[in-house]
Structure 1
């Protein structure tokens, strides 16, 4: 096994699918102390909202970090551990119990948060869960389908993990008209089409213009002057920067909701993380703008989930550079390995993710810093009215 160990940060979603917290995940047996010390020392750490929940392994370091909420995998039995838990509670610190299968349910209110795997929670009596939720905040992990997500919302859970975002919705298999036109727009972007050709697509579908303007006026861009037209967006942002937002536009809510689609946030985060991690890696010389290509690999990697169509079928309609296509379709090359590492981490396959990151020569500290920068940036995408 790779001797270098990594810390993986997974967002936790509230019932309205906005990000309300994060869970720090490590391979069993990993020494969490140095990694958590790097986490709290990173400049981006202080930029996250104070109300955001951060779940971390229950180690003594957490006692001096009020923003880290310690997760106990079992109720403490040793006298020293019980005293430590009592001191945390006396200090007003919140604590989490990660409930294991076969473990008796704790008394209501004994823990501030209860963390349960969705599969385990579904075997418990609903009334027991509702009773626990009356005094403790329930958090569901391993929420692997939209059906799981609907179930936890109906059974007293306040927060959940977001694996379900990686699965296709059962609601239809045909892309709507707006997204069909967006595929045409993506093809034009990949071909580096003229401004006039791009504007023609927007004239056919007014929703696209509205969604694009909300997106580029978001906090993640924060233009000094509000952008009111496609031409102004090109002038103020530049064509290459605008193309990144056009890539994410496909994930925007076609019904013009007032918040970002969580799949848009995930696609943006994948793009930003792959771009950041690839900066010090050797990328194919045929890529004229390698960082743009890296962002594209991440942002396009969820098109199959969004459009309910196989990714190879979608890629056939997009004239992509060979390394980008190989990364998306077959996880080949440096960009493909980065994408695979991120996908393994999101699916909880941490050993495979660690091995790939180690093979690429990415150090745990650099990986952690890239995650924090990415999550902070992606969290700033808030769509204005």
Structure 2
């Protein structure tokens, strides 16, 4: 990776698998570059939940004092780095300024400089027993699948950081009836069916109409007036925009315990693709970019294989190709959205440069997408 600064992220979830924070890794050659990248985010910074900001590739030093941390930001400090006097002094200075701290890579016996307090302490659940006394809420790392998460919580951890919930199994051979109904409505919209026909289909499940209107009237949509009915939505939005927001009904239909976390990840992917693809595709394809990202976790959300889900849907080839891992116009953007969820920034850097994008544009789009996903009520 070159000297560009890239952000990657993972969620922090509580015992119920609800997202309570975002763990943001800043891959930077030095603290000055990290601060510059963080400052460039501006109003795109997500404020709905705390953000643990950790440095990858460098250690905290006095330069971090130049960072005007947004509301909810916390500095993540690796426990081994506190043995470095320069790091310890910088962290102490930041703590005295009021910046909340998170301790990561904690192991029993680690010496903590006097005067430092931590809101959260992160430890590898595979090797670190929970019987240790820690100076904060204990969060598990190293979790790679749902069963390991359940074991960590049973052992006494207060939550976990990571994408373990994406590793669940898809066991159903076809869509559940409730999901199939949403797909039927989506297909009608794709075919520009008569509004009354679509409305009649939606009336078969009152919850669909309620959720659709809630999404459309959410802050993320930004309408100047409140949409009161499905027919009103057709008039105000048109079929293309309506298709995008109906797609959210399918994304948010999952009943898995991890569904809210999966939904946020899926919608953030969709928004990221929509924002970054805007300069590459005509306006009429922007909603398709969003749908591609939003549907990229449908197999996990609906508990059925992706190819079986897509068999039931009338989607453009560009969307289907990307979702099935085939080459296509949208595929590089979906790969980039997924790379934002990696621990390493290597793939993200490669994809960013291949598309001719800047690291700053991708970083801002990623956090803007996360902020957008937070505006929707799942």
Query: TM-score range with shorter-chain normalisation?
Result: 0.7 to 0.9
- What is the TM-score normalised by the length of structure 2? 0.83
Structure 2's unaligned 5+ residue stretches are none
Which residue in the other structure is 2:140 paired with?
A: 140
State whether residues 54 and 77 of structure 2, in contact with CA within 8 Å, keep that contact through their aligned partners in structure 1: no
User: What is the CA distance between 1:208 and its match in structure 2?
Assistant: 1.6
- What is the TM-score normalised by the length of structure 1? 0.82
CA offsets, 1:186-240, max 9 Å, x none? 3334434332332232122222222222322323235454433211222233332
**Compared with structure 1, are the counterparts of its residues 17 and 213 closer, same or farther at alpha carbon in structure 2 (3 Å cutoff)?**
farther
Which residue in the other structure is 1:230 paired with?
A: 230
Q: Which runs of at least 4 in structure 1 moved beyond 6 Å after TM superposition?
A: 170-173
Partners of 2:63 and 2:358 lie apart in 1 by 22
**Compared with structure 1, are the counterparts of its residues 31 and 207 closer, same or farther at alpha carbon in structure 2 (3 Å cutoff)?**
same
1:124 aligns with 2:128: yes
User: What is the CA distance between 1:11 and its match in structure 2?
Assistant: 3.6
User: What is the CA distance between 1:297 and its match in structure 2?
Assistant: 0.9
Which residue in the other structure is 1:265 paired with?
A: 264
CA offsets, 1:221-267, max 9 Å, x none? 35454433211222233332222110010133578x9xx93332222
Equivalent of 2:76, from 58, 71, 79?
Answer: 71
Structure 1's unaligned 5+ residue stretches are none
Number of matched pairs: 367
**Compared with structure 1, are the counterparts of its residues 208 and 2 closer, same or farther at alpha carbon in structure 2 (3 Å cutoff)?**
same
Identify which range, 208-217 or 264-273, moves more after superposition: 208-217
State whether residues 149 and 164 of structure 2, in contact with CA within 8 Å, keep that contact through their aligned partners in structure 1: yes
Structure 1 segment 68-107 matched on structure 2, within 5 A: 68-73=73-78, 74-99=80-105, 104-105=109-110
Structure 2 residue matching 1:127: 3-state secondary structure: coil
Structure 1 residue matching 2:21: 3-state secondary structure: strand
User: What is the CA distance between 1:337 and its match in structure 2?
Assistant: 1.1
**Compared with structure 1, are the counterparts of its residues 123 and 80 closer, same or farther at alpha carbon in structure 2 (3 Å cutoff)?**
closer
1:355 aligns with 2:350: yes
Which residue in the other structure is 2:13 paired with?
A: 13
1:299 aligns with 2:304: no
Structure 1 residue matching 2:12: 3-state secondary structure: strand
CA RMSD of aligned residues (A): 3.3
State whether residues 215 and 245 of structure 1, in contact with CA within 8 Å, keep that contact through their aligned partners in structure 2: yes
User: What is the CA distance between 1:380 and its match in structure 2?
Assistant: 1.0
State whether residues 332 and 351 of structure 2, in contact with CA within 8 Å, keep that contact through their aligned partners in structure 1: yes
User: What is the CA distance between 1:137 and its match in structure 2?
Assistant: 2.3
User: What is the CA distance between 1:6 and its match in structure 2?
Assistant: 1.8
